[in-house]
Amino acid sequence: MVRKYVYFFGPDGTDGNGAMRDLLGGKGADLAEMTRLGIPVPPGFTITTEACIEYFTNNQQYPPGIWEQLEEHLAKLEKAMGAKFGQKDHPLLVSVRSGARVSMPGMMDTVLNLGLNDDTLEGLIKVSNNPRFAYDSYRRFLTMFGNVVLGIEHNLFEEVLEEVKKRVAVKTDVELGANELKEIVKLYKELIRKQKGAPFPHDPKEQLKLAINAVFNSWNNQRAITYRRINNIPDEWGTAVNVQAMVFGNLGNDSATGVAFTRNPSTGENRFYGEYLMNAQGEDVVAGIRTPENIESLKEPLPGAYAELMRIYKKLENHYKDMQDIEFTIQKGRLYMLQTRRGKRTAAAAVRVAVEMVEEGLIDRNTAVLRVEPGQVDQLLHPMIDPKAKYQVIARGLPASPGAAVGKVVFTAEEAEKRASQGEKVVLVRQETSPEDIGGMNAAQGILTARGGMTSHAAVVARGMGKCCIVGCGDITIDEKEHRFSLNQSLMVKEGDVISLNGSTGDVILGPVKLVQPTLTGNFAKLMEWADEVRTIGIRANADTPHDAQVARDFGAQGIGLCRTEHMFFERDRILAVREMILADTKEEREKALAKILPMQKKDFREIFKVMDGLPVTIRLLDPPLHEFLPHTEEEIAKLAEEMRVSPEKLRHKVESLREMNPMLGHRGCRLGITYPEIYDMQSRAICEAACELLKEGYNVLPEIMIPLVGHVKELSVTRKNVERIAQQIMAEKGVNVSYLAGTMIELPRAALTADQIAREAEFFSFGTNDLTQTVYGLSRDDAANFLPFYVEHGLYPIDPFIAIDQEGVGQLMEIGVKKGRAVRPDLKIGICGEHGGEPSSINFCHSIGLNYVSCSPFRVPIARLAGAHAALQNKRRDG
Amino acid sequence: MVRKYVYFFGPDGTDGNGAMRDLLGGKGADLAEMTRLGIPVPPGFTITTEACIEYFTNNQQYPPGIWEQLEEHLAKLEKAMGAKFGQKDHPLLVSVRSGARVSMPGMMDTVLNLGLNDDTLEGLIKVSNNPRFAYDSYRRFLTMFGNVVLGIEHNLFEEVLEEVKKRVAVKTDVELGANELKEIVKLYKELIRKQKGAPFPHDPKEQLKLAINAVFNSWNNQRAITYRRINNIPDEWGTAVNVQAMVFGNLGNDSATGVAFTRNPSTGENRFYGEYLMNAQGEDVVAGIRTPENIESLKEPLPGAYAELMRIYKKLENHYKDMQDIEFTIQKGRLYMLQTRRGKRTAAAAVRVAVEMVEEGLIDRNTAVLRVEPGQVDQLLHPMIDPKAKYQVIARGLPASPGAAVGKVVFTAEEAEKRASQGEKVVLVRQETSPEDIGGMNAAQGILTARGGMTSHAAVVARGMGKCCIVGCGDITIDEKEHRFSLNQSLMVKEGDVISLNGSTGDVILGPVKLVQPTLTGNFAKLMEWADEVRTIGIRANADTPHDAQVARDFGAQGIGLCRTEHMFFERDRILAVREMILADTKEEREKALAKILPMQKKDFREIFKVMDGLPVTIRLLDPPLHEFLPHTEEEIAKLAEEMRVSPEKLRHKVESLREMNPMLGHRGCRLGITYPEIYDMQSRAICEAACELLKEGYNVLPEIMIPLVGHVKELSVTRKNVERIAQQIMAEKGVNVSYLAGTMIELPRAALTADQIAREAEFFSFGTNDLTQTVYGLSRDDAANFLPFYVEHGLYPIDPFIAIDQEGVGQLMEIGVKKGRAVRPDLKIGICGEHGGEPSSINFCHSIGLNYVSCSPFRVPIARLAGAHAALQNKRRDG
């Protein structure tokens, strides 16, 4: 039996519904759903994603039976519209649009007005009684078809248009009359024949097949691929194609087209929020070429359609129980809905919409928690412009996406990517952005456009990326050739000059401004509380300083999961003593140098313990190889030798003798603590003395002493015995009892594989997934740049394993470690302190294998709290 | 209930037997066994190893009840001997000797003649009617007790002795009369009082307790610890203590003492082989101070005892069905056996004894196979002196241990260790060796002593080590102070001069001699055949050249398990093309350079395939990072740049850009093959073309193409697809079908963990346990020197994991890999090609987890064949 590849939607029956997103794509499913809800939608049909997948897996051959089904549904559509494809009198015109499972705005191709040719043009003139409109539609169709389907460069069409406009001395397209447009149509047809060596295909069915083909193929155009990489969308999903009867927003001043959000997508405010253009086609709004009108002003010219729109948007939001992004067209006063989809929103909007929908009774708290993507929350944790900062605003645009950006001005996406790859911070300034700019937008700190509205390409994409963006900033005049922009003819800003953007106000500022760290307040705090109510996995932070510890605590961290002590060794006042220790020839000399460091380390720990009063603090004893503390160039060695009053030879010799082929696999971690026990002894002493003293001062100190790089249980038993000895000794001296734990990192495969043995000696485990990933893959993070990007791009690794835990490999080893560890010590406390601890999919995995906590950088704590809640809710759902 | 710590052996009943080695030690068990067999053994008792273990685990406290048991058995011994401890008339004297589970000759302490004091001396004089003997016994006892039990330096006693000898103008101890010895006894007692601040303990029971204590403690003296490390004897075993009634070989010319082997321990010849000293104590023989007589000459002075000895040695060999090492004493014409144990033997002797015992019907073939330790066979595979070489013999000694040695002369063990650690080859030349020399003997290529017989310390230890050794070379006169030795006053050999030793003939040769590789012939070949009959695991070799392949094949390799291709890249005639390839900026340039290498690679493979006609050859595609092929110093770069006609800047820039922090975890293995597919393409082409051509020429070629460093299945599927494509293409071109396999190394933890996925793409696995050990432990072999020796010495690692497979960690991962791989592909061929493939315990492990083959260096193939047979027999035993 042949599969059903084509699904109809229209007054005579609708095959699909809103739940069939995987098959029909988001757009197709929602068109079917709206039709079912009785909302006015131009009828049409959807060609399934399965057809697309089969097309690609079968070497770009269409599956059998598809064209028969297409013919059948085309006939149904013709019947529904009372019009016929290619018919002179009453021609059927259609749009052909892509529609993947998830929205990929502007990434794939669209063809409008398909069905037009020299014959049906006559019909359109007759039906519309508007030759200008008909020719305009025809020239638009020729442009799109020529570009999208036939692959002719867009600017060749633009050049023809500009030439005609120049000749008749008009500035905008709207000013062109029917005759000029007729001429343009003729010129376009010639252009196509010249470019392709064959005439423009007049047969509408041939047009349709070619257009469907083009849409399928656009799934694999470069910008779509880039978008999928950025957004982690699998290549295998494919896109559906929607063929829908055309309605026209450009049939005169009783016609219009627009897009709207049921709430403000930037702030989340519960207010209908949209823009429209009178007498225009939908693409004009999205492309940002004409700056559109605010939706409220539609009430006056078209009160009926406006009222209908109000009714429908509420119906849609109530139906979907989520903020919707809708497209509509008003054809001669009659409203048609062309699309509804889940509205993309900034993190701030996501939080506000979620919280307010709970307050409105639309959704429950858990749904609200799930409505905000943990990764997206990152936006709210980025620096904002200091509210107290004084700055000079040089221009103001529309606040399309909040946040702040400070960077050097660049005028092309390529330049943005180039500079960003060299570590520069840039702000991308464009007339308007187009889908080709996606890479540059991603690389930039923020985006500023001179044209376009709140729903323009730049605005939509920037909000999706959580990037600060100001659009429609008409104050600036961009000179793309000279790489500069001017303000009121006076101020000139060149490429490389620094500007700042305030995405929340639309302010463009010359020079850098002071940024401040955000805090958890209002709706965000409320949502976090709800998240905490369902979350079961603990959230700690990696913090090495009292300041970081305070930030972490303010963001809701429940302890410190990793306090690295090597950073303390580098501090100005003690690096010299550290180097003395390294240069020491005897244990006694080493101990002498360490004795100088002891009081400083103790002070470090005292301060951190104070901030974390009542919460556990996991302190990792010294981990990096000693050569990291020594200089390496001849000049540095000479300078230091003088400072230390040793001979440069001695210093150089030490540097040489400590040099390692593979320092990652070298003399570090507990290997140091075992060969130079006095180092760990000093650190244990500093921790225990600090803890004992603070305990006496009334603080509640919960130290967890962590031994790094254990591969064999004996390494732990030897080092731990020393820790215990010192702890007992100091507690006896001070006459207090600190309830401390002694445990280990699990960061080597062997540690995970022998976790049962190690658990006998460890009161806690903490997975060091950075090193574990390096050893499981045999992959040095420092050296991976030569091939890892290639690997990720070509799908050799499904995802960069340093970003998200590789569950198949590294994760498998973690599961072994958890299982073996708990088999011996059922109450073993297990956490993770690699950088994966702040990455949502990794947090979900950690939850699923039963870790007690994740530990991440302080600024990712709220993300982790939310991700932890998602994990709990999703697992509950799965278990339920 | 109190444990039994003391076991009696004697005419009135024997508690132990020969099977109780773990409890009674080897010596104790065999004394009991001999007593049970009715062989004359002086009665005594054994204090168990358990007592020793408890002594050490309980902080050097004796277990309760032990002294009561001691008293009880002492009484029994007194009754058996009709003598009493401390009794003036008829004093009981005993020896106190260590005895571990396995023999550790000379490593631990012994005290003889215990029970003597000023009172019992009188008794001894009376009973022996020989005052000289009695005083001699007393002064020996005082020396041993003073040194071993009281810790007084041995040379202090020697000094006293020398002084007296000088004064009375005699040269040897034997010339001293009773009066002088009496004086010496007096001086010794004064020496002891002066050194210890207390008189020598007269109470025999106190002497006994102190001596037992000293023997227990000697388990942990440095030389015993070193010996255990070298021989992999666990520290936890402990030693037993044997207390045995003294018999005297120094009671006159009807007394003697000797040691013997039931067969020749150097060659294995089936002829009684021993040495004795008339009128001497046993220690005189072993210490090598007087050169003893050949056993056959005993027949004349003591025909009765000689005949009894002949009878007993045959009885013992028939009873134990193995070559025995025996000690005896003849006291006034009556023979006493003091010890029997499995005789240590050279590998050559082990092989000959095993094979001949099968022929004699004493043992079966499997027993014979198990009688030869695989590790020991290594000796037979070391170079020997070329039988055709002409050389000048400057001296001749006793051929104590066969083999050859070429090295620089050194005169102290410390110097030997020092130079060896710097990579020099040395020959240790000593008057005689003592247990303190063990480290230096181990470090030397061979040992030459001026004194001592075939059973002297040097001879016994060298045979145990499989080290070439010549003893009793009276031709040389050593000047230890001046670090030189002379021959007949004429030739002078200084420290650092090169000499050669022929351990099979006893020839000492000036200068180096040519060595040749050994072959598999005679008994050795026969034993290997028997081994192959029971062996189930395959043995392959790691060989990169036709020569190595031929050696491997001659030694019985069943294929090549690892042919590394990078060595071929380094060869003189192609390294330039390789460097051109690396410097290429485009794929085309790279392909051009690779095209130059192709014919050479093809030739390499042709030659190896020819040698291995009919056997599989596993070829690993390029593995090391490209920077390994480039120079690194400024001079080398400048020179190469000139040679290659490129600018030094370009070359330097390339070197810089390829530099890696952790090359072990860098851009190497299949990562190269994926980012530069043209490299693997060229290699695949060379392999396939060579194979196709040879097939047409009538050879049977079985190539197995191996992709290195796979961590993710997609890496294998991508590279393998290319291999397949090229193979298909070339086979089509050439019109033949090569039955090749394509598979992968499993050398990363992730590969083992996802072996089920990888097995879908791999026709074989080969465990690369070198890299797997490095990644599982997070341990770079190149950098481990700073702590790995410390780790092994201090027991943090039970064994160096680069020598024997770490079964708990690395082995666990291997088991996972085998299980997962075979779950998907039940007939998956799995081997190992790390250096562990030639190590017996690792081969046993590989057998037990079901690997199809091990692959090792060509010279270890016979070891592996034997180890494989052991594994099969031991597992059969276990299963049976």
Please say if the pLDDT value at position B21 is more than 70.
Answer: yes
Q: Is B776 within 8 Å of A665 when comparing Cβ atoms?
A: no
**Cα–Cα nearest to B245, from B9, B572, B406:** B9
Query: What CA–CA distances, in Å, run from B658 to A626, B624, B665?
Result: 25, 12, 13
According to DSSP, the residues that pair with A385 across neighbouring strands are A515
Tell me: the pLDDT tens digits for B120-166? 999 999 988 889 989 999 999 999 999 999 999 988 998 999 899 99
Find the angle CA(A422)-CA(A425)-CA(A426) to the nearest 5 degrees. Answer: 105
DSSP assignment of A321-335: TS-EEEEEEEETTEE
Beta pairing class for A498-502 and A507-510: antiparallel
Find the angle CA(B832)-CA(B833)-CA(B836) to the nearest 5 degrees. Answer: 85
Task: At B345, list the tokens.
Answer: 């033997």
Give A749→chain B minimum CA distance, Å: 5
Question: Which sign, positive or negative, has the C-alpha torsion A367, A373, A379, A380?
Answer: positive
Q: How far apart are CA A355 and CA B357, in angstroms?
A: 90
Rg (C-alpha) for chain B, rounded Å, is 32
Task: At A205, list the tokens.
Answer: 């069915």
Give me the half-sphere count of Cα atoms (radius 13 Å) on the Cβ side of residue B234.
6
pLDDT at A795: 84
Rg (C-alpha) for chain A, rounded Å, is 32
The answer to whether residue A791 neighbours chain B at the CB level (below 8 Å) is: yes
Q: How far apart are CA B748 and CA B593, in angstroms?
A: 31
Q: How far apart are CA A597 and CA A593, in angstroms?
A: 7
Q: Is A783 within 8 Å of B750 when comparing Cβ atoms?
A: no
Tell me: the pLDDT tens digits for B747-768? 999 999 999 999 999 999 999 9
B residues 667-686 closer than 8 Å to A (CB) = 667, 671, 674-675
Preferred mutation among B235, B628, B660, B665 to probe A, highest tally of A CBs within 10 A: B665
Q: How many CB pairs under 8 A join A and B?
A: 160
In the chain, the amino acid numbered A650 is K
**Cα–Cα nearest to A584, from A520, A496, A658:** A658
The answer to whether residue B712 neighbours chain A at the CB level (below 8 Å) is: yes
The answer to whether residue B88 neighbours chain A at the CB level (below 8 Å) is: no
Q: Is B777 within 8 Å of A663 when comparing Cβ atoms?
A: no
What number of other Cβ atoms are within 10 A of residue B607's Cβ? Answer: 17
Catalogue the E-assigned strands of A146-251.
Answer: 239-245
Q: Which residue of A has its CA nearest to B670?
A: A787
Q: How far apart are CA A347 and CA A52, in angstroms?
A: 33
CB A418 within 8 A of CB A408: no
- CA dihedral angle for residue A687, residue A693, residue A695, residue A700, rounded to 10 degrees: -50
According to DSSP, the residues that pair with B616 across neighbouring strands are B702
pLDDT at A227: 84
DSSP letter assigned to residue B261: E
Question: Is residue A396 within a helix (H) or strand (E), and if so which, with residue range?
Answer: strand A393-396
In the chain, the amino acid numbered B6 is V
End-to-end CA distance of chain A: 37
Among residues of chain B, what percentage have pLDDT more than 70? 99
Q: How far apart are CA B513 and CA B388, in angstroms?
A: 11
In the chain, the amino acid numbered B858 is P
CB A765 within 8 A of CB A748: no
Preferred mutation among A582, A662, A672, A820 to probe B, highest tally of B CBs within 10 A: A662
CB B35 within 8 A of CB B41: yes
Which range is most confident: B172-176, B224-228, B296-300? B296-300
- CA dihedral angle for residue A257, residue A260, residue A266, residue A270, rounded to 10 degrees: 150
DSSP assignment of B639-654: HHHHHHTS-HHHHHHH
Cβ neighbours of A660 in B, within 8 Å = 780, 782-783
Query: What CA–CA distances, in Å, run from A257 to A30, A113, A292, A802?
Result: 19, 15, 10, 46
- Residue in A73, A382, A457, A836 annotated catalytic: A457
Which range is most confident: B172-186, B230-244, B585-599, B679-693? B679-693
Low-confidence ranges of chain A (pLDDT < 70): 1, 285-289, 464, 877-880
Residue with tokens 């600190």: A738
What are φ and ψ of residue A491, in 5° steps?
Answer: -70, 135
CB B196 within 8 A of CB B210: no
Q: How far apart are CA A622 and CA B199, in angstroms?
A: 54
For the whole model, what pTM was predicted?
Answer: 0.83
Asked if B856 is an active-site residue, the reply is no
What are φ and ψ of residue A505, in 5° steps?
Answer: -115, -20
Task: At B672, list the tokens.
Answer: 């190269």
CB A548 within 8 A of CB A858: yes
Q: Is B750 within 8 Å of A712 when comparing Cβ atoms?
A: no
**Cα–Cα nearest to A399, from A271, A536, A507:** A507
pLDDT at A286: 62
A residues 352-411 closer than 8 Å to B (CB) = none
Please say if the pLDDT value at position B550 is more than 50.
Answer: yes
What secondary structure, in 3-state letters, does B271-315 show?
CCEEEEEECCCHHHHHCCCCCCEEHHHHCCCCHHHHHHHHHHHHH
Q: Is B787 within 8 Å of A749 when comparing Cβ atoms?
A: no
Nearest to A780 among B662, B806, B809 (CB): B662
Q: How far apart are CA B880 and CA B876, in angstroms?
A: 6
Nearest to A778 among B711, B779, B791 (CB): B711
pLDDT at A880: 45
Q: Where are the alpha helices (DSSP H) in A197-296?
A: 204-218, 222-231, 282-287
Give me the half-sphere count of Cα atoms (radius 13 Å) on the Cβ side of residue A96.
27
Question: Is residue A560 within a helix (H) or strand (E), and if so which, with residue range?
Answer: strand A560-564
Please say if the pLDDT value at position B880 is more than 50.
Answer: no
Confidence of residue B214 (pLDDT cuts 50, 70, 90): very high
The answer to whether residue A718 neighbours chain B at the CB level (below 8 Å) is: yes
- Counting Cβ atoms within 10 Å, is residue B412 exposed (0-12), middle (13-18) or buried (19+)? middle
Q: Is B749 within 8 Å of A709 when comparing Cβ atoms?
A: no
The answer to whether residue A807 neighbours chain B at the CB level (below 8 Å) is: no
Give B716→chain A minimum CA distance, Å: 10
What are φ and ψ of residue A308, in 5° steps?
Answer: -65, -40
The answer to whether residue A634 neighbours chain B at the CB level (below 8 Å) is: no
Task: At A189, list the tokens.
Answer: 């047809």
pLDDT at B493: 93
CB A505 within 8 A of CB A393: no
Catalogue the E-assigned strands of A253-316.
Answer: 256-261, 273-278, 293-294
Tell me: the pLDDT tens digits for B825-875? 999 999 999 889 999 999 999 999 999 999 998 988 999 999 999 999 998
A residues 719-758 closer than 8 Å to B (CB) = 747-750, 753-754, 757
Q: Is A776 within 8 Å of B715 when comparing Cβ atoms?
A: no
Q: Is B665 within 8 Å of A662 when comparing Cβ atoms?
A: yes
The strand order across the sheet containing A6-9 reads A6-9, A44-47, A239-245, A94-100, A110-114
The answer to whether residue A656 neighbours chain B at the CB level (below 8 Å) is: no
Question: Is residue B401 within a helix (H) or strand (E), and if so which, with residue range?
Answer: strand B398-401
End-to-end CA distance of chain B: 37
| A403: three-class secondary structure by DSSP | coil
Preferred mutation among A582, A672, A712, A760 to probe B, highest tally of B CBs within 10 A: A712
Tell me: the pLDDT tens digits for A235-269? 889 999 999 999 999 888 899 999 999 999 988 99
Confidence of residue B878 (pLDDT cuts 50, 70, 90): low
| A547: three-class secondary structure by DSSP | helix
CB B858 within 8 A of CB B543: yes
Asked if B483 is an active-site residue, the reply is no
Q: Is B748 within 8 Å of A790 when comparing Cβ atoms?
A: no
Q: Is A754 within 8 Å of B809 when comparing Cβ atoms?
A: yes
Nearest to A711 among B711, B754, B778 (CB): B778
CB B455 within 8 A of CB B105: no
The answer to whether residue B770 neighbours chain A at the CB level (below 8 Å) is: no
**ipTM exceeding the 0.85 mark:** no
Q: How far apart are CA A226 and CA A218, in angstroms?
A: 12
Cβ neighbours of A757 in B, within 8 Å = 808
Contacts of B544 by beta carbon, 8 Å cutoff, 6+ apart: B563, B564, B565, B567, B568
| B447: three-class secondary structure by DSSP | strand
Give B712→chain A minimum CA distance, Å: 7
Nearest to A777 among B662, B664, B750 (CB): B750
Give B796→chain A minimum CA distance, Å: 5
